[in-house]
């Protein structure tokens, strides 16, 4: 059994790495780590062997590691940045992350986090190194030649910080003892742009794909979940060898948990003596799904909620794979831990079993774990694409759109202005994201989505841009090229770029190839600027039996236009005005409605006239973008009802 699983990982990793090479070289890592955890002092020692393959054409004179735990010390970059943002008041609230605030400044010596390097050798030779807070710079005695492999051996020690952000111990919200994310010295990514030694200030991550072989030695009463497959399941028991089994007894003070994860770019684990473990095996060779949660208090409702996580995940997976691509790993674990919802390969940490967060974090397996963009530079491709997918998965599982939920909520609270605005101005799907983006665009705090994730001047601007504007990007793309074409783009993006670290240009090239439409202008305006979309119906008149409708662009971002006319007899007619920058047009999205494609609208021209042979008195409604997918910041002038 063990040998067969190891062989599987070797073949699996080889196949995926080979698939990832044709268009862009990738560095490769193979970690072997042995960790000795002391649950009384919250400290651990570790030995790490790292095989590093330099597939680049360049010689490397140094390497960098992340030391994330060092952020959790008074006066760290994370501490000072959080306090600085706390001085910014937006919507009468301090702008700092509510989980961080000024808590780092108040940590005591036994509550801080740290990672200290005892020694590091390359091919058996000791190397000099230098700390830069959360970054370790290793000055190599001998360069790593292009197309060569070296072996680093490291000994280190660490202290687990009090739970503040992502990693930590003793979170009162969950009662979980150890949430071990960003817990080991992790090699920084080196790619076609060079090294990425990004200090840990607040945001997301970027890592090298490879294989992890991790052994965790910990108090025998603790139970674990994490990335990878548990190799010694027969020795451990606890539902890993067969559903429902108990933790097997041992005479040792500590037991060893041995996990292997293939072709992943990070490794997470959690541990608690009161964890409970549920599992479900997907049919036809699909992955094993795990639900691991704190069961210190015997609560049947809690048990039921975490069981529902598995039911929801197993129900949703066929839909997910059909629309976003196949899940390639042998398992996935939903683990209670961390400080919210946090994505990692083959696992996510969840404060609770809420299905919205469950679906969001699982979809990160596609938009980050397999399509591993540099999150610091392209947070919107990570969080935005994931939020887009989350909404579709939730709608599938709940059998209703989010807008239906907003309508039902508005019926219960008819005076809620926000709900009313969402229902009246936002599309059927992704309405919450549109509403959030509209608020951002009108707030004065918006920054271009090209801004480095840590360099936004407010948490509000970052989160709204990455999550909401990124989600709108994808739904609005469906407006531009057609929803069916957008769906094909997503599957082709997955096929071409999984395990290759794509950037924004890579995605746009796929979108252009699939749609046959030039889209560089869309990325330029929507991603690189904060220019907004605003169109209006300017005027109507009739000349020689021909009705004319003049449209005006008020905003600075041009778009193609769907214009629907509704006539007195109840019939409708859809006109499509391509943008001249597109050099193409979408096809009809409604099989029951004719789409009349007009001459292109030049982006330099503020007005455009649409003509129809219907008499003016026959027109009852003129509607720009009836689906409301175009993110027009002022929809009040998009619809004109004529009461003759």
Q: What is the mean pLDDT of the chain?
A: 95
Q: Hey, what are 530's tokens?
A: 């904060």
Q: What does the pLDDT look like over 262-281, one tens digit per residue? A: 999 999 999 999 999 999 99
In 268-299, which residue ranges form alpha helices assigned H by DSSP?
none
Does residue 2 have a pLDDT over 80? no
Rounded Cα distance, 98 and 190, in Å: 33
pLDDT score of 297: 86
| Residue 67 pLDDT > 90 | yes
Whether residue 575 contacts residue 588, with contact meaning beta carbons closer than 8 Å, is answered with no
Note the pLDDT tens digit of each residue in 520-574. 999 999 999 999 999 999 999 999 999 999 999 999 999 999 999 999 999 999 9
Number of CB atoms found within 10 A of residue 84's CB:
12
Which one-letter DSSP state was computed for residue 181? S
67: nearest Cα among 82, 89, 81, 46: 46
326-340 pLDDT per residue, tens: 999 999 999 999 999
264 closest CA partner among 184, 344, 186: 344
**Among residues 570, 588, 465, which one has the least CA distance to residue 527?**
465
pLDDT, position 261? 98
Whole-number pLDDT of residue 590: 87
Classified by CATH at the fold level, domain 535-641 comes out as Immunoglobulin-like (2.60.40)
Residue 373 CA to residue 498 CA, distance in Å, equals 10
Residue range 612-625: mean pLDDT, rounded: 96
pLDDT of 284 > 90? The answer is yes
Alpha-carbon distance values, 392 to 58, 296, 437 (Å): 43, 34, 19
Q: State the Cα–Cα distance between residues 461 and 445, nearest whole angstrom.
A: 6
Beta-sheet strands, E only, within 127-236: 128-132, 135-144, 148-159, 168-169, 178-180, 186-187, 190-191, 194-195, 210-219, 223-226, 229-230
- How high is the pLDDT of residue 10? 42
Q: How far is it, in rounded angstroms, from Cα 152 to Cα 135? A: 17
Bigger pLDDT: 508 or 14? Answer: 508
Task: Render pLDDT for 32-52 as a digit per residue (tens, 0 to 9).
Answer: 999 999 999 999 999 999 999
Q: Is 417 exposed, middle or buried (0-12, 13-18, 19+ CB in 10 A)?
A: exposed
Question: 368 falls in which pLDDT band (50, 70, 90)?
Answer: very high
Taking 70 as the threshold, does the pLDDT of residue 18 lie above it?
no
376: phi > 0 → left, psi -120 to 50 → alpha, else beta; which?
A: alpha
Domain with CATH 2.60.40 in the chain: 535-641
pLDDT at 20: 40
pLDDT tens column, 134-148: 999 999 999 999 999
Give me 271's structure tokens: 């541990």
- Measuring CA to CA, which residue among 449, 318, 459 is closest to residue 385? 449
| DSSP string covering 103-121 | TGGG--TTTS-EEEEEEEE
- Using only C-alpha atoms, the chain has a radius of gyration, in whole angstroms, of 27
* pLDDT above 80 (res 21): no
CA distance 451 to 441: 16
């Amino acid at each position: 059994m063990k040998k067969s699983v190891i062989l599987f990982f070797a073949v699996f990793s080889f196949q995926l790495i080979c698939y990832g090479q044709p268009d862009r070289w990738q560095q490769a890592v193979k970690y072997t780590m042995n960790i000795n955890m002391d649950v009384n002092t919250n400290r651990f020692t570790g030995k790490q062997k790292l095989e590093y393959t330099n597939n680049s054409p360049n010689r490397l004179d140094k390497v960098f590691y992340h030391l994330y735990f060092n952020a959790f010390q008074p006066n760290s970059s994370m501490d000072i940045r959080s306090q600085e943002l706390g001085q910014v008041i937006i919507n009468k609230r301090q702008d700092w992350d509510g989980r961080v605030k000024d808590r780092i400044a108040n940590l005591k010596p036994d509550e801080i986090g740290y990672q200290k390097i005892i020694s590091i050798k390359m091919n058996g030779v000791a190397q000099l190194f230098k700390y830069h807070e959360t970054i370790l710079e290793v000055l190599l005695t001998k360069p790593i030649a292009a197309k060569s492999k070296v072996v680093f051996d490291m000994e280190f020690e660490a202290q687990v910080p009090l739970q503040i952000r992502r990693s930590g111990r003793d979170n009162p919200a969950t009662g979980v003892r150890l949430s071990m994310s960003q817990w080991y010295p992790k090699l920084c990514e080196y790619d076609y742009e060079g090294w990425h030694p990004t200090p840990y200030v607040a945001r997301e991550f970027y890592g090298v794909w490879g294989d992890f072989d991790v052994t965790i030695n910990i108090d025998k009463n603790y139970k674990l979940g994490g990335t990878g497959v548990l190799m010694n399941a027969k020795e451990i028991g606890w539902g890993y060898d067969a559903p429902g089994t108990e933790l097997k007894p041992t005479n040792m003070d500590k037991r060893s948990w041995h996990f292997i994860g293939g072709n992943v770019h990070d490794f997470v684990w959690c541990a608690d003596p009161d964890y409970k473990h549920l599992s479900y095996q997907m049919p036809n060779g699909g992955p094993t799904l795990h639900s691991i949660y704190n069961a210190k208090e015997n609560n049947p409702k809690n048990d039921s909620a975490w069981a529902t996580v598995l039911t929801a995940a197993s129900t949703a997976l066929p839909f997910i794979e059909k629309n976003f691509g196949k899940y390639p790993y042998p398992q996935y674990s939903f683990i209670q831990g961390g400080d919210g919802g946090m994505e990692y390969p083959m696992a996510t940490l969840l404060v609770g079993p809420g299905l919205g967060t469950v679906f969001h974090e699982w979809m990160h397996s596609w938009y980050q774990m397999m399509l591993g963009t540099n999150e610091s530079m392209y947070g919107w491709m990570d969080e935005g694409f994931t939020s887009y997918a989350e909404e579709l998965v939730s709608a599938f599982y709940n059998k209703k759109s989010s807008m239906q939920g907003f309508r039902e909520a508005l019926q219960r609270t008819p005076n809620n202005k926000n709900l009313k605005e969402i229902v009246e101005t936002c599309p059927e799907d992704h309405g919450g994201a549109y509403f959030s983006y509209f608020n951002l665009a009108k707030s004065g705090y918006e920054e271009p989505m090209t801004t480095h994730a840590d360099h936004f001047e407010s948490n509000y601007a970052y989160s709204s841009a990455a999550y909401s504007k990124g989600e709108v990007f994808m739904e609005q793309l469906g407006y531009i090229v057609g929803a069916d074409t957008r769906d094909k783009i997503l599957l082709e993006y997955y096929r071409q770029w999984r395990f290759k670290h794509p950037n924004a240009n890579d995605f746009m090239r796929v979108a252009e190839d699939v749609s046959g439409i030039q889209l560089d202008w869309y990325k330029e305006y929507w991603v690189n600027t904060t220019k907004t979309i605003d169109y209006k119906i300017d005027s109507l008149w009739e000349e020689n039996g021909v009705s004319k409708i003049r449209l005006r662009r008020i905003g600075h971002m041009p778009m193609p236009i769907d214009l629907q006319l509704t006539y007195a007899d109840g019939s409708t007619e859809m006109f499509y005005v391509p943008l001249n920058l597109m050099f193409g047009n979408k096809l009809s999205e409604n099989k029951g409605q004719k789409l009349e494609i007009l001459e292109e609208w030049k982006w330099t021209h503020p007005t455009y006239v649409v003509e129809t042979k219907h008499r003016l008195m026959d027109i009852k409604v003129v509607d720009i973008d009836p689906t409301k997918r175009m993110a027009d910041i002022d929809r009040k002038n998009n619809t004109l009802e004529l009461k003759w």
